[in-house]
Amino acid sequence: MRKIQMVDLKGQYEGIKDQINSSFEEVITSTAFINGPEVQNFQKELEGYLGVKHVIPCGNGTDALQIAMMGLGLKPGDEVITADFTFAATVEVIALLGLTPVLVDVEPDTFNIDPEKVKAAITPKTKAIVPVHLFGQTANMDEIMDIATANNLFVIEDNAQGIGGNYHDKTGVSHKTGTIGHIGATSFFPSKNLGCYGDGGAIFTNDDELAHTIRGVVNHGMYERYHHDVVGVNSRLDSLQAAVLRAKLPKLDSYNNARRKAADLYDAAFKAQEHIITPLRVGNDDTHVFHQYTLKITNGKRDALVKHFQENNIPCGVYYPIPLHKQKAYADERYNEADFEVTNQLVKEVISLPMHTELDKEQIEFITKTLIAFVNA
């Protein structure tokens, strides 16, 4: 059996190395390292794939979220609602901009932000909602957009874990995640479903005026060289990273299908296991891209299982071990533990198994047999 890895980027590289190596050589020979043809072409190709009018590449996913909020003109004191159960980058940028993060609980089955909790958290100071398509499962965007429309709020999709996923709205129209709200943000961190070989990110919008604003924000607030019209940042996707992404983008659907097939094998192995709850897939199969395959272990053995996996050379992850409202940086007396019942339980139960495009049946069988035997012992 091949060595089991949480993410196998080297194996994936073998299928695209000729194109990447050739593209790297072209970039180095041309010396067009910043905003060269690779970046411009990737931008256009991603716009086509997503069916969105504007893609603005940037330096990383965290920058993408920050720039999105800057582009919307959010001001210190404005409240932004997001999920308590997610990676800290989402709330980090809210705090960095002097905005007020408002954390709310998530749904127990999808792990995504609970629309009813969003409704309850809205105040006259609320200006935006940031749903996260956590682990690759699309959030309930129909309800979130309805809430936003009724309360005149912006919706900023955090699509760092969901790129390539489809959302089928209540009218039957399908959308790529990240293109439904007023603006979307994603990360191209190497382990993402569409990942580069360093840092990278992008912002998506169908709003022409907003896109124009953001193109200035990412480049020191300049629309004309040395004319700084708005406060901006320095956040660019470089040409080498764009070359990697151009090689991977045509394969993104097949990469996501490979992840779904691995998830199918996991699901089949864990079927009818009393103490193991497999990830929910909402509606059609294409709504989940399995950035992570995250189980709930319900008999109190999660932490011991992590140790057992380590002893058996099976990588795993606990995403996330501490709720954001309990992190020192984001603790606030406004929060009541009773309002985070689901998140407080999830952090005790969730475990993410190896999930990538190169997983094979032998590896999955070893992982699942090891897990089942331990949990039921």
Q: What does the pLDDT look like over 263-283, one tens digit per residue?
A: 999 999 999 999 999 999 998
In a domain, 115, yes or no: yes
Q: Which position has the token pair 């996996």?
A: 309
How far is the C-alpha of 291 from the C-alpha of 162, rounded, in Å? 7
Do 231 and 327 form a contact (C-beta atoms < 8 A)? Answer: no
The angle subtended at Cα 62 by Cα 254 and Cα 104, nearest 5°, is: 95
> Which amino acid is it at 266?
Y
Is there a single domain that holds both residue 123 and residue 98?
Answer: yes
Do 128 and 145 form a contact (C-beta atoms < 8 A)? Answer: no
Q: What is the mean pLDDT of residues 300-322?
A: 98
Is there a single domain that holds both residue 27 and residue 92?
Answer: yes
Is there a single domain that holds both residue 243 and residue 257?
Answer: no
Is there a single domain that holds both residue 296 and residue 151?
Answer: no
How far is the C-alpha of 7 from the C-alpha of 208, rounded, in Å? 37
Is there a single domain that holds both residue 59 and residue 193?
Answer: yes
In a domain, 55, yes or no: yes
The encoded tokens of residue 50 equal: 């997503």
Q: What is the CATH number of the domain that holds 307?
A: 3.90.1150.10
pLDDT, one tens digit per residue, over 204-247 is 999 999 999 999 999 999 999 999 999 999 999 999 999 999 99
pLDDT of residue 116: 98
Is there a single domain that holds both residue 238 and residue 189?
Answer: yes
What's the structural domain count of the chain? 2
How far is the C-alpha of 39 from the C-alpha of 44, rounded, in Å? 9
Is there a single domain that holds both residue 170 and residue 291?
Answer: no
Which of 250, 279, 299 terminates a domain? The answer is 250
The encoded tokens of residue 130 equal: 């940031």
> Which amino acid is it at 174?
S
For the cut 90, the answer to whether the pLDDT of residue 321 exceeds it is yes
In a domain, 209, yes or no: yes
Which of 233, 250, 267 terminates a domain? The answer is 250
Average pLDDT, the chain: 97
Is there a single domain that holds both residue 236 and residue 280?
Answer: no
pTM: 0.97
* Residues of the domain holding 85: 9-103+110-250
Q: What is the CATH number of the domain that holds 73?
A: 3.40.640.10
Band (pLDDT 50/70/90 cuts) for residue 285 is confident
Torsion of CA 49, 53, 58, 64, to 10 degrees: -100
How far is the C-alpha of 337 from the C-alpha of 344, rounded, in Å? 8
In a domain, 2, yes or no: no
How far is the C-alpha of 297 from the C-alpha of 302, rounded, in Å? 6
In a domain, 42, yes or no: yes
Which of 220, 250, 280 terminates a domain? The answer is 250
The bridge status of strand 350-353 relative to strand 293-297 is antiparallel
Band (pLDDT 50/70/90 cuts) for residue 284 is confident
pLDDT of residue 243: 98
Is there a single domain that holds both residue 89 and residue 115?
Answer: yes
In a domain, 151, yes or no: yes
Q: What is the mean pLDDT of residues 247-256?
A: 98
